[in-house]
Amino acid sequence: MHSTWHPESRGSLTVHTVSPTELNVRLAQDIAQRLATAIQVRGFAVLSVSGGKSPVALFEALRVMDIDWSRVRITLVDERCVPRNHPDSNTLLVQTHLQQDLAAKAQLVFMVTRASEPLDTPAAQAKAAGIALLAASPADVLVLGMGADGHTASLFPEAPNLAEALDLRNTQTCVAIELAHPSANAPYARITQTLAQILSARHIVLPLTGADKLNTLQQAWKQATPALPISFVLQQTQTPVALWLAN
């Protein structure tokens, strides 16, 4: 990232700047250490992960880390309302790229339980996913992503119920997100952890690469605004957040 702006750690937000070639291995080592510590303390660990193409290289670095994966529960930050073996499901992405090698022993907690159509309504799926997440326990490490539009999880700026999903008084674990104009490459309703559920994690990591995302980060750094949902994660002080930036 070639930019004159470099974010600095503040409060519960720390910034790690590493080379692009080191980013995924360094972050995988950090996550694995945190999971191993949680296993020592509680007997199990919970890793919550986001979908999309961005975390694939991280997943592939993480799955060969030598920890007791049989004691790790993997949950999803968000999911598309498609059967769990659908090519566009985050479940299949995690099974393909993370739940392999040493991490094949981990337990994957499904957000969408059905492997084929028909599916329940998005609202019913969100309720069921919330029950499954609560049963799994809060995440020891939660991996977020961010789009150039400032969305994180499936908290999109244009979502009709964004205010509800961002409301920290909302007791729902997950909500359904149905966009009026979803992207052409993923035209699905979604279910996502609410902001309150995301912030129930013990530690949040946000890896970012690319000048466009750094520009978005610079805007979100200034103040919390629904126009950039990620800003609500960056501006809060309840949960430690580690930014991992490739320079």
The domains located in the chain, with CATH, are 13-194+203-246 (3.40.50.1360)
Residue 221 CB neighbours (<10 A): 18
pLDDT of residue 3: 53
pLDDT of residue 6: 84
At residue 247 the predicted structure's pLDDT band, cuts being 50, 70 and 90, is confident
**Does the pLDDT of residue 1 top 50, yes or no?**
no
Tokens of 197: 């559920």
**Does the pLDDT of residue 2 top 80, yes or no?**
no
Give percent above pLDDT 90 in the chain. 87
List 206's β-bridge partners, or say none: 243
pLDDT of residue 180: 85
What is the tens place of the pLDDT at every residue in 159-205? 999 999 999 999 999 999 999 888 878 889 999 999 999 999 999 99
Contact partners, residue 183, CB within 8 Å, separation at least 6: none
Whether the Cβ atoms of residue 205 and residue 31 lie closer than 8 Å to each other: yes
Cis peptide before 118 (omega within 30 of 0): yes
What is the tens place of the pLDDT at every residue in 60-83? 999 999 999 999 999 999 999 999
Report yes or no on whether pTM surpasses 0.85: yes
User: Rounded to an integer, what distance in angstroms lies between the CA atom of residue 59 and that of residue 112?
Assistant: 20
pLDDT of residue 31: 98
Q: Bigger pLDDT: 186 or 57?
A: 57
List 46's β-bridge partners, or say none: 73
